Amino acid sequence: MSNSKEFGFKISIIGDGGVGKTSLIKKFTKGTFEKDYVKTIGAQFSRYDKEIGRDVINLIFWDIAGQDDFNFLHPLFYKESRAGIIVCSLEENDLGKDSFIHIRNWYNELKKYCSDIPVVLFANKVDLVDENNLNEREIQDIVDEYNFLGYYITSAKTGQGVIDAFNTLIETLYYKFKELSLQK
Protein backbone atom coordinates (compact mmCIF):
# COMPACT_ATOMS: atom_id res chain seq x y z
CA MET A 1 0.00 0.00 0.00
CA SER A 2 3.01 2.31 -0.17
CA ASN A 3 1.77 3.80 -3.45
CA SER A 4 -1.73 4.42 -2.19
CA LYS A 5 -3.12 7.90 -1.64
CA GLU A 6 -6.04 9.26 0.28
CA PHE A 7 -8.43 11.86 -1.11
CA GLY A 8 -11.21 13.74 0.63
CA PHE A 9 -14.16 15.33 -1.12
CA LYS A 10 -17.12 17.28 0.16
CA ILE A 11 -20.12 17.06 -2.16
CA SER A 12 -23.11 19.36 -1.64
CA ILE A 13 -26.49 17.92 -2.57
CA ILE A 14 -29.12 20.57 -3.18
CA GLY A 15 -32.62 21.01 -4.56
CA ASP A 16 -36.13 21.82 -3.43
CA GLY A 17 -37.54 20.19 -0.30
CA GLY A 18 -39.13 16.80 -0.96
CA VAL A 19 -37.25 15.89 -4.15
CA GLY A 20 -35.41 12.98 -2.51
CA LYS A 21 -31.94 14.28 -1.65
CA THR A 22 -31.72 12.43 1.68
CA SER A 23 -33.19 9.26 0.16
CA LEU A 24 -30.65 9.28 -2.67
CA ILE A 25 -27.77 9.58 -0.23
CA LYS A 26 -29.13 6.75 1.93
CA LYS A 27 -29.67 4.55 -1.11
CA PHE A 28 -26.08 5.09 -2.25
CA THR A 29 -24.33 4.90 1.14
CA LYS A 30 -26.49 2.28 2.90
CA GLY A 31 -28.56 0.64 0.20
CA THR A 32 -31.77 1.55 2.05
CA PHE A 33 -34.94 3.48 1.30
CA GLU A 34 -37.40 4.89 3.81
CA LYS A 35 -40.82 5.72 2.39
CA ASP A 36 -41.75 8.23 5.09
CA TYR A 37 -40.64 11.79 4.35
CA VAL A 38 -38.71 13.55 7.11
CA LYS A 39 -37.79 17.16 6.38
CA THR A 40 -34.07 17.94 6.67
CA ILE A 41 -33.47 20.73 9.19
CA GLY A 42 -30.55 22.91 8.07
CA ALA A 43 -28.19 20.25 6.74
CA GLN A 44 -27.13 16.70 7.43
CA PHE A 45 -23.94 15.04 6.40
CA SER A 46 -23.06 11.46 5.62
CA ARG A 47 -19.61 9.95 5.42
CA TYR A 48 -18.76 7.27 2.89
CA ASP A 49 -15.44 5.72 1.91
CA LYS A 50 -14.73 4.26 -1.50
CA GLU A 51 -11.64 2.61 -2.93
CA ILE A 52 -10.44 3.13 -6.47
CA GLY A 53 -7.43 1.00 -7.22
CA ARG A 54 -5.30 1.26 -4.10
CA ASP A 55 -6.45 4.79 -3.29
CA VAL A 56 -9.05 5.63 -0.66
CA ILE A 57 -11.62 8.34 -1.25
CA ASN A 58 -13.20 9.84 1.87
CA LEU A 59 -16.50 11.41 0.94
CA ILE A 60 -18.72 13.73 2.90
CA PHE A 61 -22.15 14.29 1.39
CA TRP A 62 -23.77 17.51 2.61
CA ASP A 63 -27.52 17.18 2.33
CA ILE A 64 -28.71 20.79 2.36
CA ALA A 65 -32.31 21.55 3.29
CA GLY A 66 -34.33 22.82 0.36
CA GLN A 67 -36.83 24.89 2.31
CA ASP A 68 -36.47 28.69 2.14
CA ASP A 69 -36.26 28.85 5.97
CA PHE A 70 -32.64 27.71 5.75
CA ASN A 71 -31.35 29.91 2.89
CA PHE A 72 -29.35 32.09 5.28
CA LEU A 73 -27.23 29.06 6.24
CA HIS A 74 -26.37 27.97 2.69
CA PRO A 75 -23.10 29.95 2.36
CA LEU A 76 -21.73 28.10 5.40
CA PHE A 77 -22.87 24.71 4.14
CA TYR A 78 -21.33 25.13 0.68
CA LYS A 79 -17.88 26.03 2.00
CA GLU A 80 -15.10 23.81 0.57
CA SER A 81 -17.43 21.77 -1.65
CA ARG A 82 -15.58 19.98 -4.44
CA ALA A 83 -18.74 19.14 -6.41
CA GLY A 84 -22.46 19.66 -6.41
CA ILE A 85 -25.47 17.52 -7.13
CA ILE A 86 -28.71 19.29 -7.95
CA VAL A 87 -31.78 17.11 -7.50
CA CYS A 88 -35.17 17.71 -9.09
CA SER A 89 -38.27 15.55 -9.05
CA LEU A 90 -39.76 14.04 -12.20
CA GLU A 91 -43.22 13.91 -10.60
CA GLU A 92 -45.99 15.37 -12.71
CA ASN A 93 -47.25 17.71 -9.97
CA ASP A 94 -46.35 21.11 -8.53
CA LEU A 95 -43.33 19.73 -6.66
CA GLY A 96 -41.92 18.24 -9.85
CA LYS A 97 -42.62 21.28 -12.03
CA ASP A 98 -41.31 23.77 -9.45
CA SER A 99 -38.19 21.72 -8.68
CA PHE A 100 -37.35 21.65 -12.39
CA ILE A 101 -37.82 25.42 -12.73
CA HIS A 102 -35.68 25.99 -9.61
CA ILE A 103 -32.65 24.12 -11.01
CA ARG A 104 -31.43 27.48 -12.32
CA ASN A 105 -31.71 29.10 -8.88
CA TRP A 106 -29.86 26.24 -7.20
CA TYR A 107 -27.12 26.35 -9.82
CA ASN A 108 -26.70 30.13 -9.47
CA GLU A 109 -26.45 29.83 -5.70
CA LEU A 110 -23.88 27.03 -5.95
CA LYS A 111 -21.87 29.04 -8.48
CA LYS A 112 -21.99 32.12 -6.23
CA TYR A 113 -20.50 30.32 -3.23
CA CYS A 114 -18.41 27.60 -4.88
CA SER A 115 -17.28 29.08 -8.18
CA ASP A 116 -16.47 26.47 -10.83
CA ILE A 117 -17.03 23.09 -9.24
CA PRO A 118 -18.39 20.15 -11.26
CA VAL A 119 -22.17 19.83 -11.07
CA VAL A 120 -24.41 16.88 -11.92
CA LEU A 121 -28.20 16.85 -12.19
CA PHE A 122 -30.21 13.97 -10.72
CA ALA A 123 -33.76 13.82 -12.11
CA ASN A 124 -35.26 11.71 -9.33
CA LYS A 125 -38.44 9.74 -8.66
CA VAL A 126 -38.57 8.09 -12.08
CA ASP A 127 -40.46 5.26 -10.39
CA LEU A 128 -43.46 7.63 -10.08
CA VAL A 129 -43.79 8.47 -13.79
CA ASP A 130 -44.08 6.72 -17.14
CA GLU A 131 -40.47 6.71 -18.29
CA ASN A 132 -41.57 6.49 -21.94
CA ASN A 133 -43.13 9.97 -21.64
CA LEU A 134 -40.06 11.72 -20.18
CA ASN A 135 -38.89 14.83 -21.99
CA GLU A 136 -35.16 14.20 -21.74
CA ARG A 137 -34.50 16.94 -24.32
CA GLU A 138 -35.69 19.51 -21.76
CA ILE A 139 -33.31 18.05 -19.17
CA GLN A 140 -30.42 17.96 -21.66
CA ASP A 141 -31.04 21.61 -22.56
CA ILE A 142 -30.46 22.65 -18.93
CA VAL A 143 -27.37 20.45 -18.70
CA ASP A 144 -26.00 22.11 -21.84
CA GLU A 145 -26.94 25.64 -20.77
CA TYR A 146 -25.07 25.38 -17.46
CA ASN A 147 -22.32 23.03 -18.60
CA PHE A 148 -23.17 20.33 -16.04
CA LEU A 149 -21.12 17.14 -16.18
CA GLY A 150 -24.35 15.39 -17.11
CA TYR A 151 -27.65 14.19 -15.78
CA TYR A 152 -28.98 10.93 -14.44
CA ILE A 153 -32.52 9.62 -14.27
CA THR A 154 -32.75 8.18 -10.75
CA SER A 155 -35.05 6.54 -8.25
CA ALA A 156 -34.03 6.42 -4.61
CA LYS A 157 -36.80 3.87 -4.09
CA THR A 158 -35.80 1.33 -6.76
CA GLY A 159 -32.14 2.33 -6.98
CA GLN A 160 -32.35 3.01 -10.72
CA GLY A 161 -29.39 5.12 -11.82
CA VAL A 162 -28.26 5.94 -8.26
CA ILE A 163 -24.99 3.97 -8.07
CA ASP A 164 -23.89 5.01 -11.58
CA ALA A 165 -24.75 8.67 -10.91
CA PHE A 166 -22.78 8.94 -7.67
CA ASN A 167 -19.86 6.83 -8.92
CA THR A 168 -19.45 8.89 -12.08
CA LEU A 169 -19.16 12.10 -10.08
CA ILE A 170 -16.81 10.53 -7.52
CA GLU A 171 -14.57 9.11 -10.25
CA THR A 172 -14.49 12.48 -12.02
CA LEU A 173 -13.28 14.15 -8.83
CA TYR A 174 -10.81 11.38 -8.09
CA TYR A 175 -9.14 11.43 -11.50
CA LYS A 176 -9.01 15.23 -11.54
CA PHE A 177 -7.34 15.47 -8.14
CA LYS A 178 -5.16 12.41 -8.68
CA GLU A 179 -3.77 14.10 -11.80
CA LEU A 180 -3.19 17.32 -9.84
CA SER A 181 -1.39 15.41 -7.08
CA LEU A 182 0.92 13.78 -9.63
CA GLN A 183 1.84 17.18 -11.05
CA LYS A 184 3.16 18.39 -7.69
CATH number, domain with residue 82:
3.40.50.300
Per the structure, the count of domains in the chain is: 1
What is the span of the domain harbouring residue 132?
6-157
What is the rounded CA–CA span in Å between residue 163 and residue 106? 23
- For 120-130, what is the mean pLDDT? 97
* pTM, rounded to two decimals: 0.91
Burial class of residue 28 in the structure, from the number of CB atoms within 10 Å of its CB (0-12 exposed, 13-18 middle, 19+ buried): buried
Residues 14-71 have pLDDT tens digits of: 999 999 999 999 999 999 998 766 656 556 789 999 999 999 999 999 887 766 665 6
The pLDDT-based confidence of 115 (bands split at 50, 70, 90) is confident
- Give a yes or no: residue 79 inside a domain: yes
